[in-house]
Amino acid sequence: MAIVSASMPRPVTLNVSLEDVSMLRDVKKAISMLRGVTKVSVPRTKKYDITKTAGFREAMEDVKCGRVTHYDSLQDFYKEMGL
């Protein structure tokens, strides 16, 4: 006598990376058409906030302490750097 399990198979997740974001809509549509695919979703990406980075904080500290050099032109900068 065989015992048959009625449990559902565990869902599997597939991650796909695209170089060209313009293809996203077509790829989602194609994947959703495959047999057995129950859900196709795209996670929202977090906005990158540069003001939260250590480099930004250091730069603002430099400005606050006057550690900033101004040049009238790019040519003046090159001249100062010896380029």
Average pLDDT, the chain: 87
Cα 2 from Cα 42, distance rounded (Å): 42
Cα 62 from Cα 67, distance rounded (Å): 5
Question: Per-residue pLDDT averaged across 54-74, rounded?
Answer: 94
Task: Please report which confidence band the pLDDT of residue 6 belongs to, taking 50, 70 and 90 as the band edges.
Answer: low
Instruction: Look at the chain and count its residues.
Output: 83
pLDDT of res. 9: 73
DSSP SS3 for 50:
helix
pTM beyond 0.75: the answer is no
User: Which has the higher per-residue pLDDT, 19 or 2?
Assistant: 19
Task: Please report which confidence band the pLDDT of residue 5 belongs to, taking 50, 70 and 90 as the band edges.
Answer: low
- Region of 41 (left: φ > 0; alpha: ψ -120 to 50; beta: rest) is beta
